[in-house]
Structure 1
Amino acid sequence: MTEVEVSFTKYDGRPHRRTVERLPGEDEFAVHRDRYGYPPEMIAQATAAAHRLHREIGAGAEPFATRYRDRLSRV
């Protein structure tokens, strides 16, 4: 994920900043979503799948932790 700083004003008028994590390619997906008119159900499913995959890779879940090594050694 990449970090993006977001600035906004709270209801009490005080400025607030925080860092939001974004998936790589999220901006490109947004451009394609708008250009090609992806339906809302597809957008929701694709976004959920991308976040799930990112979590699993980060947690070292198989097949992302070690099983790729066998395939990579064949290249």
Structure 2
Amino acid sequence: MENQRDFCTECRRETSYTLKKIKINQTIREKEYTFEITAAFCNECGGEMGVPGLIDYNMKEIDEQYRSIRT
């Protein structure tokens, strides 16, 4: 995630982006939790972008936060 340029589906072109922390709600075992994850936002239009590797990184963030809650 070092390269800060990728294809924006809103702009329909390659643009730079900024990584920001956002909060999401996730239900695990019928209980709702709020997690803070990293999202990429286009610097041109502000739309959220799907950056390669970000889903895996967010799964790791959620796992670490969930484990800290459960202990």
Coarse TM-score class (shorter-chain normalised): 0.3 to 0.5
Name which one, 1 or 2, has greater alpha-carbon Rg: 1
Q: Higher relative contact order at CA 8 Å, sep ≥6: structure 1 or structure 2?
A: 2
TM-score where L is the length of structure 2: 0.35
Identify, as 1 or 2, the structure richer in strand.
2
The structure with the largest helix share of the pair is 1
